[in-house]
Amino acid sequence: MSSFPTLNADLHCHSVVSDGTLTPEVLAERAQANGVHLWALTDHDELGGQERARAAANALKMDYVSGVEISVTWMGQTIHIVGLGIDANHAGIIEGLRQTRDGRANRAKLMAEQLLKVGIPGAYEGALHFAGNHDLISRTHFARYLVEQGVCRDTEEVFKKYLVEDKPGYVPHQWATLDNAVAWIKGAGGVAVIAHPGRYKLTALQMGELYQHFKDIGGLGIEVITGSHSPDQYKTYGKIAQHYGFLASRGSDFHDPDESHVDLGTLPHLPDHLTPVWSAFH
């Protein structure tokens, strides 16, 4: 597989198997239509879409690496770790992800109770209606319900007024540990990548600890070019990648044609002084 930095690789997106709105097949077509050469579907805490995504990519003659985005609690904050090139049939990661998903239904009921208290009824059933996979009810599905109900104009507004810390509908949750998430990915033969580092509400000191600990336990990569980063952040996290010797990844984090600002395969290329994460795949 090619390892040049300007490869149109999109190694982060979501289907109906987690909180995206398109099927793996439609995503594959969209990626290819946008010129993607190497694609990964990275549903949250779930590998159920991998076979379909790979088959669809193969049919379109597009290179594919299997993927996942694991929810992790680290220093009391939620962070996301992407696993790429994993064996999607590996028992260890399948069981780990099952445990990670486990608390979602209960959390969703508690979120709905809070929303009811601020005058928004029916949110659990409403969110479930948007969830293509009932094992993976997420805040995104609640956000779509609140938009449908006219509570907010768009999901962006929902995540400002609801579902985040100190706002109605926020329920703290204990996800996987960082060590477990990285161990599951490595155990399944994959490469662990810190997703959208620019999004975390951690101090510079805590971020430094995150990078060093992640590296110590065998984490290899970091997202530099992502739909969550500004052009300034491309530079910031490119420097982090160089400083820690991380492989650099690129992914849109595409969820939905209307909700997502960045479409599959349309981000700038990786800067050519960085080592692309796809140099690790054969």
Rounded distance between C-alpha atoms, residue 51 and residue 211, angstroms:
32
Beta bridge partners of 223: 249
**DSSP string computed for 161-210:** HSSSTTSTT------B-HHHHHHHHHHTT-EEEE--GGG----HHHHHHH
Rounded distance between C-alpha atoms, residue 18 and residue 134, angstroms:
9
Does residue 159 belong to the site contacting ligand AMP (CB under 6 A)?
yes
Does residue 255 belong to the site contacting ligand AMP (CB under 6 A)?
yes
Encoded tokens for 205:
């000191």
Q: Which of 95, 125, 148, 156 binds ligand AMP (CB under 6 A)?
A: 156
The DSSP letter of residue 113 is H
* Interactions with ligand AMP, residue window 76-115 (CB under 6 A): none
Does residue 71 belong to the site contacting ligand AMP (CB under 6 A)?
yes
Select from 268, 112, 100, 238 the least CA-distant residue to 181: 100
Minimum distance, C-beta of residue 216 to ligand AMP, in the bound complex (Å): 26
- Judged by CB, which is closer to Mn ion: 19, or 46? 19
Does residue 253 belong to the site contacting Mn ion (CB under 5 A)?
yes
Does residue 19 belong to the site contacting ligand AMP (CB under 6 A)?
yes
Q: Given the rule CB under 5 A, which of 63-71, 85-93, 119-127, 186-194 is the region that contacts Mn ion?
A: 63-71
The DSSP letter of residue 13 is B
Q: Which of 7, 9, 11, 19 binds Mn ion (CB under 5 A)?
A: 19
Beta bridge partners of 251: 226
Does residue 138 belong to the site contacting ligand AMP (CB under 6 A)?
yes
Contacted entry of ligand AMP, Mn ion, none for residue 71, CB cut-off 5 to 8 Å set by kind: ligand AMP
Q: What phi, psi does 248 have (nearest 5°)?
A: -100, 135
Does residue 10 belong to the site contacting Mn ion (CB under 5 A)?
no
* Interactions with Mn ion, residue window 161-200 (CB under 5 A): 195
List contacts with ligand AMP (CB under 6 A): 19, 44, 71, 138-140, 155-156, 159, 255
